[in-house]
Amino acid sequence: MNQVKQVDHLENLENLLRDGRLARAEEQRKFGSALTDATRSLQQAAVRFEGLARMSGAACEARPALNSEERSRLAAMCNDLRRAGQQIASAARDGSEEHLREVRHLVKDVEATTTRIEDALSSAWQRRADREFSRADALAGLLQKVPETQHLGHQLKAVAQKGLQWKKQFPPDAPGLAEFQSLITRTQALLEELATSGADDDVVDFLQATVEGRARLNDCSQRTRSWLQERGALGLFRVTLG
């Protein structure tokens, strides 16, 4: 009797059981193209799904830029996504070919929703970046002209420029998000440093409004005039009739 052949079926079976190939093969045999299609569409959408994770991180940063309406719309879209995920999971749990064939369509819906979310968040993200780094950038240019704040102006200018670079990168990856948050923090720190040099809020606001072209003569307070004067910077300003 040559019961044990070159192929040891006992060992093979043990392996197939152990690594799940047998179970998969069995499901494959059972659901045929339904599972294949569902799997393929899921695999294709996987990157997008993982993009949602990145969007979640960025969403926190973008959230301040969202208005309530935008938030409500995003919340609805998130709910759609959750429901789609639930349906996909149910299709697998049920082991129903019909439900599996729905997965592909669900995936398309999910992709569309994801795009819409991304667009909304991306917009909010840009707005947040502008808010954090565009004024600082302009202020930095003005500060660079003041000898006493020239250095600070250079620093702020560099941070703001970096921050503005993240404006188009949405969703950022985790390091990007971290850098973005870091740049915000640095900007805030430089501005606080400016404040410690006597440039209180009136000064900063006046300088900021000047950079934005909206400063009015009466916006320049005495304190501001003094701070400019002390730093020989009054001559840098010209009065024009608006």
Partner 1 sequence: MSLNRFACWKSPDANEILRTEALQGHESIFLAVHTPMQGFEVEKGTRSAWLEHRTERGFLDALNREGLKHVFAVVEGEPGAGKSHLIRWLKIQWQHQQDLVLLIQRAEGSLDGTLRQIRNELAGEFADHFTGLGEVQQSSLEGRAKDFLSKLANRMDRNSYERESELPTHHEFVEDKQFSRLLHHDQVRSHWGAPRRIMGVVSGEGERNSALADFRLQDIAELAALANDISEVGMRPIQLLRALGREAKRFQPLLEEGLTQQQIYAELGDEVRNSRILVEALNARLNSALQGLLGISLQGLKDLFRRVRRTLKQQGRRLVLLLEDITSFQGVDDQLIDVLVEQSETAQAHDICDLISVVGITPDYLNNHLRRLGNIQDRITFHIRLSTDNDGSFQEVSGVRTPEERLRFAATYLRAVRSGVQALEEWHSTDLDAPVPNACDRCPLREQCHHTFGAVELSSPRHGATQAVGLYPFTSEAINRIFLALHDPRADRNLKTPRGVLQQVLAPSLLKPEAVERGVFPPPDLEGAWLPDSDRLLLGRLHSMVQNLGGDEATRERLRRLIAWWGDRSEASTREDVEGHVRFAGVRKQVYETFELPWLGAAEALPPKDPPTLPAQTSRLSESTTTDLVEKTSGPSLDRDSDGGPRAPKTPTKSPPARKSLGRTDQAEFAQRSAELKNWQEMGRLDDGQWWDARAYELVESLPWRRLGISAYLQEKLFTQQTVALSGSGRTDSRHFVIPSESWVRDGLESHIQLRVAGDTVQDAEFHRRRVARFLRRLARLAQSRVAEVVPSGADGGRLWSVPATATQVLLARAWMRGTASPKDSTSRQWRAVVEKEAPAEASAKERVDSWTAIVQKTSGSHATVREALLHWVNLPQATKGPTAQNVTFLDAEEAAPALLRLVQSGRLDAFPPAVPRREQTAILERLADLAKEVQQRLPQVARRERERLLRLCDDINQACRGGSLPDYIGRVVQVLNSVTKVCPSVPPGAVNEWLKVRDGLRESGVLATNDERGQAVKELDDFLADAGDSDIRNLDGAELLAWAQKAPAKELGQLWELTRSIEASLEQIGRYAEELVLSSGTAGAATLTDVQQIGERLMALAQELEEAIR
Binding site for partner 1 (CB under 8 A): 1, 3-5, 7-10, 12-14, 16-17, 20-31, 35-36, 38-39, 42-43, 46, 49, 52-53, 55-57, 59-60, 62-63, 66, 71, 74-75, 78-82, 84-93, 95, 100, 103, 110, 117, 121
Nearer to partner 1, 64 or 147 (CB): 64
Check if the beta carbon of residue 121 is closer than 8 Å to that of residue 62: yes
171 preceded by a cis bond (ω within 30 of 0): yes
Structure token pair of residue 193: 């440093």
Nearer to partner 1, 3 or 240 (CB): 3
Smallest gap from Cβ 173 to partner 1, in A, equals 16
Check if the beta carbon of residue 90 is closer than 8 Å to that of residue 106: no
Residues in the chain: 242
Nearer to partner 1, 53 or 189 (CB): 53
In the chain, what is the straight-line distance between the N-terminal and C-terminal CA atoms, in Å?
107
Smallest gap from Cβ 159 to partner 1, in A, equals 25
Smallest gap from Cβ 181 to partner 1, in A, equals 14
Alpha-carbon gap, residue 198 to 146, rounded angstroms: 13
Smallest gap from Cβ 134 to partner 1, in A, equals 23
The alpha carbon torsion through 71, 75, 76, 79 (nearest 10 deg) reads 170
Nearer to partner 1, 25 or 236 (CB): 25
Nearer to partner 1, 33 or 226 (CB): 33
Alpha-carbon gap, residue 192 to 44, rounded angstroms: 47
Smallest gap from Cβ 75 to partner 1, in A, equals 6
Check if the beta carbon of residue 25 is closer than 8 Å to that of residue 87: no
